[in-house]
Amino acid sequence: MAFKLYIYEHCPFCVKARMIFGLKNIDFEKIILLNDNESGPIRMIGKKMLPILEVDGHFIAESMDIVAYIDQQAAPIITGRTSSKIAKWLERVAPLFSSLIIPRMACAPFKDFETTAARAYFVCKKEAATGLFSHRLGESAALLEEINKLLEELAPLIEKSNAVNGELSTDDFHLFSQLRSLSIVKDVFYPVEVATYLQSMSKLSKVGLLDQFAV
């Protein structure tokens, strides 16, 4: 079977889909779409949303459906339990993450934003939700202080560097994808357990971190 995965480089949902291929060592073709390409995704799945997996001319949307589908191709690896503590932690950090991360993603040299029009499309759409990026960036110091506290709370929840709950579970997809986004933020203090988890999951899933673009 030939797998084509349509993604944006900035997108945490796309990271979830990329992770399963890396973790299972399955080859796939990565296709990065411009952020303002509406017709491509609409033709494939009827709406403008990535990631999309194309398998022999069929399309699968929804990151966790893609993860489940690829996991079912030969010996599944997502065998661990999920933890309500991780879900709650992710809920608490979500608003902070969006204010810190989205304005920084908008400035990064991703292929999603290779044209001025594609970057402007992202800025326009996201500022409608977050408010002006300049305002959010101005709040960085206070947001960082809160994030650093929350990362200290995350540290004792990490059981192993290759599986947050000790055995690979869907929590690892939700958690790593968010922490990989956070790596675009400069001056975050990662407790050692979190730093080790981040590095280890990046290596195992073959999804690079964003530290080289951190601001």
Ligand X SMILES: N[C@@H](CCC(=O)N[C@@H](CS)C(=O)NCC(=O)O)C(=O)O
- The residues of the shown chain that bind ligand X, judged by CB under 6 A, are 8, 11, 13, 48-51, 62-64, 125
Q: Which pair of structure tokens corresponds to residue 89?
A: 């932690």
Sign of CA dihedral 25, 28, 32, 38: negative
**Cβ of residue 207: shortest distance to ligand X, in angstroms?**
14
Q: Which pair of structure tokens corresponds to residue 136?
A: 């959010």
**Cβ of residue 141: shortest distance to ligand X, in angstroms?**
26
Q: Nearer Cβ to ligand X, position 13 or 89?
A: 13
**Cβ of residue 209: shortest distance to ligand X, in angstroms?**
17
Q: Nearer Cβ to ligand X, position 112 or 193?
A: 112
Q: Are 208 and 9 in contact (CB under 8 A)?
A: no
Q: Nearer Cβ to ligand X, position 11 or 93?
A: 11
**Cβ of residue 155: shortest distance to ligand X, in angstroms?**
27
Q: Are 10 and 57 in contact (CB under 8 A)?
A: no
**Cβ of residue 179: shortest distance to ligand X, in angstroms?**
16
Q: Which pair of structure tokens corresponds to residue 46?
A: 């009827």
Q: Nearer Cβ to ligand X, position 13 or 21?
A: 13
- Rounded to a whole number of angstroms, the distance between the first and last alpha carbons of the chain is 40
Q: What is the DSSP letter of 54?
A: E
Q: How far is CA 154 from each of CA 90, 142, 151, 195, 205, rounded to the nearest angstrom?
A: 10, 19, 5, 11, 21
Q: Nearer Cβ to ligand X, position 113 or 190?
A: 113
Q: Are 200 and 14 in contact (CB under 8 A)?
A: no
